[in-house]
Amino acid sequence: MKSSVIIFPGSNCDRDMDVALKKFGFKNKMVWHNDNVIPKSDLVVLPGGFSYGDYLRCGSIAAKSNIINSVIEFANKGGLVIGICNGFQILIETGLVTGALLRNKYLKFICKNIFVKANKTQNKYFNKIKKDILELHIAHNDGNYFCSKDDLKSMQDNDQIAVRYCDSNGEISEKSNPNGSIQNIAGVFNKKKNILGMMPHPERVIDNCLSSNDGSHFFKNLLTNMK
């Protein structure tokens, strides 16, 4: 399977993502934001970081990059697109996924491991994943997911809520909500579920020598589902 990771000025999780994708068997290419065309890919990843220094709104400038038109075209044809953290913010600013990411409720940059429950139905990202609760890492200042009541209802009706923050027992509550996101939402799909935007970083937890190895389940499962 071929993947492409887009690098924006200020991306800083691009190489972690490259290492993770290669570790689990993807043939990955790094793609510069100023390019016009994505190399032939089965998966496109918008990585985490601080593209354009988070100027204006996080992800808003990157969402107007040259490469974004081909990312949108790829996504509209049903191609798999993941946006992690700043990548999620960029997806939001392109309009490929619904909602907005506000400043964290308690105004703190949060950098820690958290637990999430993933939506396993009819999507290539989490379908058949064996663990119910994943321990992933978050590192963000603006991850407080927000959308209008109508949008929330429509996303719930379409089963588009991809990932929700929970505690180690899987309980989804205000206590396990790190940043004030409505409904503890940590990630969402588009309607067709080929696009996934989420704040947690699976690429940061892909080895037993790290604080968690649950990112491995994500990548292995995705690759299996793509074959």
Using CA atoms, how far apart are residues 225 and 220, in angstroms rounded to an integer?
9
List the x/- string, 174-203, binding to another protein by CB under 8 A: ------x-----------------------
Q: Is 224 in the site for another protein (CB under 8 A)?
A: no
What are residue 53's phi and psi, to 5 degrees? Answer: 60, 25
Using CA atoms, how far apart are residues 211 and 214, in angstroms rounded to an integer?
9
Closest to 196 measured CA to CA, from 205, 186, 211: 186
Rg (C-alpha) for the chain, rounded Å, is 16
CB 197 within 8 A of CB 188: yes
Written as one letter, the residue type at 109 is: F
Q: Is 103 in the site for another protein (CB under 8 A)?
A: yes
The correct pick among 36, 40, 77, 107 for binding another protein (CB under 8 A) is: 107
CB of 97 to another protein, least distance (A): 11
Q: Is 37 in the site for another protein (CB under 8 A)?
A: no
Which one of the spans 20-28, 127-135, 146-154, 189-197 is the region binding another protein (CB under 8 A)? 146-154
The correct pick among 1, 72, 102, 226 for binding another protein (CB under 8 A) is: 102
The correct pick among 14, 16, 93, 214 for binding another protein (CB under 8 A) is: 93
CB of 146 to another protein, least distance (A): 6
CB of 151 to another protein, least distance (A): 8
CB environment 142-177: b (16+ within 10 A), e (fewer)? bbbbebeeeebeebeeeebbbbbbbeeeeebeeebb
Instruction: Name every residue whose Cβ is closer than 8 Å to that of residue 114 and which is 6 or more positions away in sequence.
Output: 135, 136, 137, 138, 165, 176, 178, 186, 200
Which one of the spans 19-27, 54-62, 132-140, 194-202 is the region binding another protein (CB under 8 A)? 54-62
Q: Is 54 in the site for another protein (CB under 8 A)?
A: no
Which residues are catalytic, by number?
A: 85, 201, 203
The correct pick among 47, 83, 99, 187 for binding another protein (CB under 8 A) is: 99
DSSP of 143-166, one letter per residue?
-EEE--HHHHHHHHHTT-EEEEEE
Please report, as ranges, the residues that interact with another protein according to CB under 8 A: 56-57, 60, 64, 93, 99-100, 102-107, 144, 146-148, 180
